[in-house]
Amino acid sequence: MTDARRYFPLPDPFPMLRGGVLHQAQLAYETWGKLNASRSNAVLIFTGLSPSAHAACSEQDPNPGWWEAIIGPGRAIDTDRWQVICVNTLGSCMGSTCPSSIDPDNGAAYGLNFPDLTLEDAADAAHALVQHLGIDRLAMLIGCSMGGMTALAYMLLHPHGTRGHISISTAPQAQPFAIAIRSLQREAIRLDPAWNKGRYGEASYPEAGMRIARKLGVITYRSAMEWSGRFGRIRLESNHREDQPFSLEFEVESYLEAHAKRFVRRFDPNSYLYLSRASDWFDVAEYGHGSIERGLQRIQIESALVIGVDTDILFPVEQQKIIADGLTEAGARVQFVALDSPQGHDAFLVDTQRFGAAIRSYLDTIEIPDTT
């Protein structure tokens, strides 16, 4: 297996916001492009809930990354110009310390003994990495979906931590529809007897719960409009299985099935629970005495690009508007872009043409200073 991941050992102990500490913890990350002499061209990317740090291919790992069309030489995030760093979120199971990691205190996997995880912890772990790399101030902090909330946490905890910011399909706080969806995903996992309060193994993986959680995710990541055009009422060629009553019949069901198959057993159920709950917990208003606007006022950046999608039902575009307005209030030069991509919340992964154009056009306005 080729692998471009590097591993940063977090400060030991690493204290967690809601209590508890991690020992001998690490953060997986990948980089593309070169840091300039004044260390003023660094771009940090926080991912959504499930992707790894492998956002794009590289010599060490030629496999396409999850944002391959956006990152690279001459691409919207031009690695000839920027040094790009993508971290695997603390608590995720793609190389960073997570609930399936071994607790050095007792030699067993953490499971539910992993301390409560917040996006602030994920932001702080990445901040420690950035400092370790000798970067005083990021040129650009980018966050997609859950990663957009992690980026907000980063800027709230380190108000001068970045000069610029790209906020993609995210929210300043979860609204009840998103909480309800995520709560139901967590419940599906928890109700699977194989989950066993977080003590499962290869042979007893909570597959049913993870299937439901993933399919529900995919349903809310896309849009009804896209699916009507794409699947309509097209039926599968042969669906009749006497031994599988009520089995799949429509193409849209088979599409969900394929997504579930690619996800289940690849992602750790406890990681999913911890990251999902952290997304529900995050709230900019906690930094503004109950007001999102006042919370955003704390963030001291020069400029920002805030992108949302009209068809996103999980992170509705109105929530991105609130971020854009708040950052403008805080003194930043802000571009707000509402795209009419049909692909809903997932558009940033799929409609890379529209997203790429918006990101390129914003980054073209950013000068790289000789000193930070």
Does 108 help bind a second copy (rule: CB under 8 A)? no
- Decide whether 244 or 371 has the Cβ nearer to a second copy: 244
Please name which of 220, 255, 223 lies closest in space to residue 342, comparing C-alpha atoms.
223
Q: Distance between CA 226 and CA 116 in Å, rounded?
A: 37
Closest among 309, 314, 315 to 341, alpha carbons compared: 309
* Contact status: 258 vs a second copy (CB under 8 A): no
Residues 187-206, one symbol each (x = binds a second copy by CB under 8 A, - = not), give: xx-xxxx---xx--------
User: In this complex, which beta carbon is closest to a second copy, that of residue 45 or of residue 292?
Assistant: 292
Q: Which residue has the tokens 């503004």?
A: 288
Q: Of 338 and 368, which has the nearer Cβ to a second copy?
A: 338
Is residue 310 at the binding interface for a second copy, with CB under 8 A as the rule? no
The whole-angstrom distance between residue 128's C-alpha and the CA centroid of its chain comes to 18
Determine if 56 is a binding residue for a second copy (CB under 8 A). no
Distance of closest approach, residue 314 Cβ to a second copy, in angstroms: 9
First to last CA, the chain: 38
User: Least CB distance from residue 283 to a second copy, whole Å?
Assistant: 7
What single string gives the DSSP state of each residue in 312-323?
Answer: -SSS-HHHHHHH
Among 141, 151, 168, 181, binds a second copy (CB under 8 A): 181
Sequence letter at residue 247: S
Binding-residue total with a second copy (CB under 8 A): 48
Nearest-angstrom CA–CA distance, 4 and 79: 16
Q: Which position has the token pair 């007897």? A: 193
**Minimum Å distance from CB 221 to a second copy?**
12
Element of type H or E holding 166: strand 162-168
45, burial (CB in 10 Å: exposed 0-12, middle 13-18, buried 19+)? buried
123 is a contact residue toward a second copy (CB under 8 A) = no
Whose Cβ is closer to a second copy: residue 264's or residue 358's?
A: 264
Q: Is residue 153 near a second copy by the rule CB under 8 A?
A: no
- Residues found near a second copy in the complex (CB under 8 A): 112, 173-177, 179-181, 183-184, 186-188, 190-193, 197-198, 208, 211-212, 215-216, 219, 224, 227-228, 230-233, 245-246, 248-253, 256, 273, 277, 280, 283, 313, 316
